[in-house]
């Protein structure tokens, strides 16, 4: 019963995994009949996916049914849940149902429990594709190395670090740059020199903007934002990242003032997944009072309000950072 549960916010990696499964299990000559791509946002298409997965393939190869935005593990209606449970035992071995969603499966749902029971029994497969946080340097290096392996490329360790610093967690761009580098180096391993020649210097990310604001350098922050906007980073996403970064600083500052020393307790209160991050944040905010972080949050509120009123993103950030700093 080949059911594949694919989830995570790394859309590029999810897409590669789906394409790989299609290549492995379908005959190109029969794909027009044996390959279906459906959208789970439409209840009728989710139902259709279950029906097609129960239908044996015609001609050569297996049948593959891809259900993007699968609802079965995320807010699944009762009627759909019943249909899934009734279908699980009826899917032939030569049919593959790919349930794809960016969100993590909700373990409280009965459909999720049923699928994960099959995973434990070896009757289904689950793969997660999670992007590392923007501050997770080790996770970003691992993302580069994993993507290179998936593409069948050799990569020197120093080159992986250089790529992670240049690209960060932009998985789609990472795959594109690796393919360019592969053409550049030929059969050799990708080197740091190749990365510097083709990819260029370190990329800007929103956390660098926050660091500039914290250091009292609004002009530098504006320049960094301009670079992000030039790279087509959504303005509201920049604001959201900055708000999360500064709220974390505020929580750490407040709890430090109250004498809290348990980094696990601080991380939980601040909503930070990795308690080790607290040590870094403490160094960043040393000597600064909570009022500084509240002022930065007020600036970001002005920027967000301007963006939602339709202001030009560059003007919104310049006015918010320079005129209210």
Residue range 46-64: mean pLDDT, rounded: 94
Spatial CA neighbour of 34 closest among 7, 54, 64: 64
* Domain 206-323: which CATH number of 3.30.70.270, 3.50.50.60, 1.20.272.10, 1.20.1260.10: 1.20.272.10
Which of helix, strand or coil describes residue 277? helix
Model confidence at 1, in pLDDT bands (50, 70, 90)?
low
Enumerate the CATH 3.40.50.300 domain ranges in the chain, comma separated.
3-128
| 157-200 tens-digit pLDDT | 888 888 887 787 778 888 888 999 999 888 899 998 888 888 86
Of 36-40, 250-254, 310-314, the least confident: 250-254
Q: Which residues contact 261 (CB under 8 A, 6 or more apart)?
A: none
Strand partners, 5: 99, 126
Domain range 3-128, CATH architecture:
3-Layer(aba) Sandwich (3.40)
- Phi then psi for residue 107, to 5 deg, are -65, -10
Model confidence at 263, in pLDDT bands (50, 70, 90)?
confident
Enumerate the CATH 1.10.8.60 domain ranges in the chain, comma separated.
137-198
Enumerate the CATH 1.20.272.10 domain ranges in the chain, comma separated.
206-323
CATH code at 137-198: 1.10.8.60
> Mean pLDDT in the chain?
88
Length in residues, the chain: 325
């Amino acid at each position: 019963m080949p059911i594949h549960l694919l989830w995570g916010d790394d859309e590029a990696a999810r897409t590669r995994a789906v394409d790989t499964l299609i290549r492995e299990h379908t005959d190109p000559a029969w794909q027009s009949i044996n390959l279906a791509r459906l959208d789970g946002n439409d209840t009728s298409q989710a139902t259709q996916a279950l029906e097609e997965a129960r239908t044996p393939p015609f001609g050569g190869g297996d049948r593959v049914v891809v259900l993007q935005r699968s609802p079965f593990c995320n807010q699944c209606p009762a009627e759909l849940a019943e249909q899934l449970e009734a279908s699980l035992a009826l899917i032939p071995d030569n049919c593959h149902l790919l349930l794809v969603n960016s969100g993590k499966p909700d373990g409280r749902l009965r459909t999720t429990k049923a699928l994960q029971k099959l995973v434990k029994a070896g009757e289904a497969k689950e793969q997660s594709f999670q992007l590392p946080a923007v501050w997770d340097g080790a996770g970003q290096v691992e993302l580069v190395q994993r993507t290179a392996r998936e593409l069948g490329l050799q990569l020197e360790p120093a080159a992986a670090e250089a790529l992670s610093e240049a690209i960060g967690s932009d998985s789609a761009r990472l795959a594109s740059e690796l393919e360019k580098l592969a053409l550049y180096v030929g059969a050799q391993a990708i080197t740091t020199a190749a990365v510097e020649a083709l990819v260029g210097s370190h990329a800007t990310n929103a956390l660098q903007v926050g660091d500039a604001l914290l250091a009292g350098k609004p002009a530098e922050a504006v320049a960094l934002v301009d670079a992000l906007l030039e790279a087509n980073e959504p303005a509201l996403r920049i604001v959201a990242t900055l708000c999360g970064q500064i709220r974390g600083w505020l929580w750490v500052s407040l709890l430090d003032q109250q004498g809290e020393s348990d980094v696990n307790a601080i991380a939980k209160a601040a909503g930070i997944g990795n308690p080790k991050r607290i040590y870094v944040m403490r160094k960043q905010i040393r000597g600064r009072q909570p009022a500084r972080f509240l002022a930065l949050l007020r600036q970001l509120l002005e920027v967000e309000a301007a963006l939602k009123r339709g202001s030009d993103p560059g003007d919104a950030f310049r006015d918010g950072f320079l005129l209210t700093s």
